[in-house]
Each structure stands twice: as C-alpha cells, then as structure tokens.
Amino acid sequence: MASGRPRPINVKGFRDYFGEEVQVRQEMLDQITSVYRLYGFEPLETPAVESLVALGKFLPDTNRPNEGVFAWEDDGEWMALRYDLTAPLARVAAQFRNSLPSPYRRYAVGTVWRNEKPGPGRFRQFYQCDADTVGAATMAADAEMCRLSCEILEAIGIRRSDYVLKLNSRNLLDGVLIKAGILDPGDEGNLEEVRTTVLRAMDKLDRLGAAGVRDLLGAGRKDESGAFTKGAGLSGGQIDLILAFLTAEKSDCAAMLRHVGDMVSGSAAGCKGLAELDEIMDLLSSQGVSAGQCSVDTSIVRGLGYYTGPIMEAELTAEFTDAKGRRKQFGSVIGGGRYDGLVKRFTGQEVPATGISVGVDRLLAALKEMQTEARASSGPVLVTVMDRDRIVDYQRMVTELRAAGIRSELFLGNARNIGRQLKYADMRNSPLAIIQGTEERDRDVVQIKDLELGKEMAETATHEEWKTRPSQWEVARQELVTEVVRSLRRTE
C-alpha cells in the first residue's frame, strides 16, 4: 500500500476469538478438566516451543514446509511450536523419570500449531485438552481412556444416543499389511515409508470414500483442484485386501472380528491386535459401557505416526445441516491411543503410554450446532454515566455491586447520550442497566432497566402487558445492591 500501513487482517489459517466464544470454551474446559481430576489426573503445563528433534516426525500431513510444523533455527538449534500435547509429555516423562510417579497420570490444556493447508473449519492454531497415563502396559489403562471419553461427552451435555466410541488397533492394521506383503514381520524398520503412506491413505476413507483410497493406495489421486498426490504403488490384490479390511461389515461386532481374524491369521501382530480389542471390550462391558456406546471399527486408523497399539475415536452421530443445505455428521471430537515407543526415543527403553485428546474447537462447534451448550452467562451489569462531574458517585455504585459478587462495569466511553450507552449494554449482553440522572440523585433513587425483559417485550408484548410488566423501575439508592441481586435471580 502507498501509505505503508499494514492491512488489519488475520494471517491465513489463524483467527480471533471474542468474549462469548472464549467464555463458552473456558466453561467447557472446566467441565472436562473436572472429569480428569475425578479420575485422578494431575495438571501439567509445558512450553509452547520444543526442540524439533524432541517433537519428532509423526504428523499425518508432511507435504508442507518444515514437515507440518512451524520451525526455525536459533544459534544452530532447530526448534518448533508444538503440534500436539503428547510429544512434549514424552520429553517430560523422560526428563523427570526419576522424580515422577509411575504410572504418571497427567492432563494438559493448551494451544497447538500445525503448518498444514488451512480450509473451512481447519485452522493452523487450535486448542487441545488431553489426558495420558505413562507407565501402564495393561489394557485397563486403554479401557479407562475409553470410559473417560464417554464421561467427558456426557458431562458437557452430549446425550448417550448422540455419540459412539470406535476402537481399532495398530497391531491389527499391521497384521493386514503383513498379510498383504507390505510389511516384513522379521524386519521392524522394513518399508516404513510405504507403511506410513498406506496408513495415511487408509485414514482418508471417511473423507474420500473407497474409490479415493483405492487411488491413493495405487498410482495416486488428483483432487478437484488438479493437484496430484503420489500413491503407495500397491498391486490390485493388496489394495483389495486392505479395502476389504476397512469396509468389513460392522453391524455384528463378534462376526466382524471373526472375519477380520481370518484376514490376519498367522500374523503375530494381527493376533495381538485382536486380543487387545477383546480385552478392552470386556473391560468396558464390566464398567457399564454398552455395545451401542462402543464398538470395534476397522476403518479407524488415526493419522499420527507414533501409535503402537489400541487406537480410538469418539464420534458424534447427531446430524446437522451445512451452509449448502446438506445433512452431515460432526465426526470425531476425541481421539487417542497407545504409544509405547514415544518415550523410548529419549531413554532407549520402552515405556508404555496411552492417552486421549479432545478436539476443543471442533467439539465447541458441534455443541453450538446441536444447541446443547449451556446458555452463555450474561454480561456485566452496566452503570451508566449521566453526569461526568459525578463519576465518583457512579464508581461507588460499581464498587458496591462488585463487593456483592455481581459482575458489573462503569461505562467509560465518550457517549453521553443514554440511548448510545444502552446500545453498548446490548452489545455487552448486559442484563441490567443502572441509571441515575440529576433528578434521581436529588431524590436519592436510581432507575434499574431490565434489558433482557425490554428486548422480549419489544418483540411480543401488547400495550397492556407493558403496563403490567414494566422493564424499568425506581428504587432507593441504598437498596441498589439488594434490588440488583433480586432482579438477577429472577432472570436466571
């Protein structure tokens, strides 16, 4: 621009969050973390920046600069913004392994960043809210994560009939790849790049369908924009086996597991995966989790590369109508799994670990669409300023209200017109406005205006109703706090 002034716009892939959004998010996070604490998890905060080598290369989208992370070099050391809350936990578990209890149970809430291609509802900065157990090899720890996910969803108002927990195992997935001749069970590092490419293609079944996954498993796929993604280069027979596994009939869980068991027969990894899922399902059943709440789903893959065992996703099944009038489901809002090799990168010794991560922004959007979020708390009671020379009197009113625990605000803007001040109160979602002009001061009274009732009456009330339900009334100055408390209780 000629003036050299910067344009006041967001960087692509980032957004601002305003009052009510932040407040509703915090209320939801408080509900989730209260469940974490109920289960015995302790809070942990880690820096936003980690060394690049500590974060590792585990992201599902590596076709980006810096392989999916925001990284930079400082005095010869590469560092990056964290892309999730699990990789920093692995560093903490290794760094403080001699002082932390084992198992170590922690929860964390924070912002993460991914250098990925942004899109509708997909941002490069977002919130996560995790719970993890480090040092427990038993499948009971994985079952607990599943049960915890159910508790979280119900705690924030999701009905049991509106979500389903889906389980799979990376060992079971490896069993299929071994049977397809993609992996060699005798060589742990064999064809790891191909394995990663195949798993990422499988993980796109929900978005691209079987035809799109078939292309990605084969020569490659060209998307609607014309961009081409190179495929895994598998044969037709290998692709058929993988798609048969992904699309196995899921209405009868026992029959599906028998069918999948036949696909992976003779594979130690596949048999281990089946045993893991059987044990977790039994443990969940003993905790009162029904088959309707939780089931095995072979199409669950999870994109992150550090998973080593059971994996899970909690999906919302309720439907909504998008901007184009199409009926859609919200999809996954919680995901996680076992990652026994992540701490080993630091210590050289395998340390079992499992956890879940709540997709905070997606869950908030779903709650808004489902209209199950709690009604946002009202804004502050607004004390208007009718006489600039009496600012001390008005400040005294605000102080008294706050001392009584009432969220309140003194109007500090330039507008002297009461109409503009009340318009400001509407923008702040204020339930009440306090008004005292010269005439009211001389009589030692104040006017209280019920803004919520006023809006309601303006839309529906008749002339007679205005007389019987006044939205503005007068009280003695010394009764201000008592009357505001009474009025707020009436509107709750």
> Which tens digit of pLDDT belongs to each residue from 115-151?
888 877 678 999 999 999 999 999 999 999 999 999 9
316 pLDDT more than 70: yes
Residue 76 has what pLDDT?
A: 87
Burial class for 97, CB neighbours closer than 10 Å (0-12, 13-18, 19+): middle
What's the token pair of residue 144? 């607990």
As a whole number, mean pLDDT of residues 290-300 equals 85
Residue 373 has what pLDDT?
A: 39
d(CA 22, CA 384): 26
For each of the domains in the chain, give its residue range(s) and CATH number, in order of start: 19-370 (3.30.930.10), 381-491 (3.40.50.800)
pTM of this structure:
0.77
As a whole number, mean pLDDT of residues 343-368 equals 91
Residue 460 has what pLDDT?
A: 57
Q: Cβ contacts of residue 236 below 8 Å, gap of 6+? A: 218
461 pLDDT more than 50: no
As a whole number, mean pLDDT of residues 455-484 equals 73
- 192-235 pLDDT, tens digit per residue, is 677 788 888 888 888 888 898 898 888 888 888 778 888 888 88
Cα–Cα separations (whole angstroms), residue 219 to 48, 201, 287, 358: 39, 12, 46, 35
d(CA 434, CA 121): 40
61 pLDDT more than 60: no
d(CA 449, CA 439): 17
411 pLDDT more than 70: yes
Question: Could you tell me the pLDDT band of residue 1, with boundaries at 50, 70 and 90?
Answer: very low
Determine what percent of the chain is predicted with pLDDT higher than 70.
88
As a whole number, mean pLDDT of residues 304-326 equals 82
329 pLDDT more than 90: no
Question: Could you tell me the pLDDT band of residue 293, with boundaries at 50, 70 and 90?
Answer: confident
Determine what percent of the chain is predicted with pLDDT higher than 90.
46
Residue 231 has what pLDDT?
A: 84
73 pLDDT more than 50: yes
Residue with tokens 């990284």: 71
Residue 458 has what pLDDT?
A: 55
31 pLDDT more than 90: yes
Residue 86 has what pLDDT?
A: 94
Residue 110 has what pLDDT?
A: 95
266 pLDDT more than 90: no
d(CA 121, CA 365): 9
Residue 179 has what pLDDT?
A: 87
As a whole number, mean pLDDT of residues 462-479 equals 73
d(CA 119, CA 200): 19
d(CA 41, CA 287): 19
The phi and psi torsions of 166 (rounded to 5 degrees) equal -115, 135
249 pLDDT more than 90: no
| CA nearest to 440, candidates 474, 484, 472, 415 | 474
d(CA 114, CA 109): 16
339 pLDDT more than 50: yes
Residue 189 has what pLDDT?
A: 53
d(CA 157, CA 364): 11
As a whole number, mean pLDDT of residues 226-245 equals 86
Question: Could you tell me the pLDDT band of residue 492, with boundaries at 50, 70 and 90?
Answer: low
324 pLDDT more than 80: no
As a whole number, mean pLDDT of residues 458-463 equals 52
| Alpha-carbon 147 to chain mean position | 17
Residue 184, SS3 per DSSP: coil
Residue 64 has what pLDDT?
A: 47
With both helix axes pointing from N to C terminus, report the angle between 391-403 and 480-491 in degrees, rounded to the nearest 10: 50
Q: Cβ contacts of residue 175 below 8 Å, gap of 6+? A: 263, 264, 267, 269, 270, 271, 272, 273
Question: DSSP code of 68?
Answer: G
* pLDDT higher at 59 or 388: 388
- 372-404 pLDDT, tens digit per residue, is 434 445 789 999 999 988 999 999 999 999 999
Residue 129 has what pLDDT?
A: 96
Question: Could you tell me the pLDDT band of residue 454, with boundaries at 50, 70 and 90?
Answer: low
As a whole number, the mean pLDDT across the chain is 86
As a whole number, mean pLDDT of residues 407-424 equals 89
